[in-house]
Amino acid sequence: MILDHIGIAVSDYEASKRFFDAALAPLGIGLVTETHGWAGYGAQGKPEFWFGEGGEPQRPMHLAFTASSREQVRAFYDAALAAGAKDNGPPGIRAHYHPNYYGAFVIGPDGHNVEAVCHGAEE
């Protein structure tokens, strides 16, 4: 990762927590810490993705999370839809990026385009 962490303001903290808890769990990403009204999500104990209330929520942006397998991408997509996201591109190859780019896209809380992507070949 080239960034240490990123934080975004959200309009509804609890709704965002419910969504990201469900959508990111299949990727092995979960809530690491909560402090001062902010939630920090990550893997292996390091929060890299933060959100909280306070301030103007960001305009919709693209948030892409790494998946270690195509199965994780599919599980992310299913979990995100079950958590209330809207489809923005089902799991599949996006060859215009590169031959093994396998991603899925959903519209989550506050209109963000949330993606899970695996760059590896099919197992």
The number of domains in the chain is: 1
| CATH number of the structural domain spanning residue 23 | 3.10.180.10
Residue at 49 is within a domain: yes
Residue at 84 is within a domain: yes
Residue at 78 is within a domain: yes
Contact 106, 73 (CB under 8 A): no
Contact 4, 48 (CB under 8 A): yes
Contact 47, 38 (CB under 8 A): no
Residue at 80 is within a domain: yes
Using DSSP's 3-state secondary structure scheme, residue 23 falls into helix
Residue at 1 is within a domain: no
* pLDDT above 70 for 57: yes
Residue at 12 is within a domain: yes
Note down the domain range covering 94: 6-118
pLDDT tens digits, residue range 5-52?
999 999 999 999 999 999 999 999 999 999 999 999 999 999 999 999
pLDDT tens digits, residue range 60-112?
999 999 999 999 999 999 999 999 999 999 999 999 999 999 999 999 999 99
pLDDT-derived band at 1, boundaries 50, 70, 90: low
CA distance 44 to 46: 6
Place of tokens 């099919």: 122
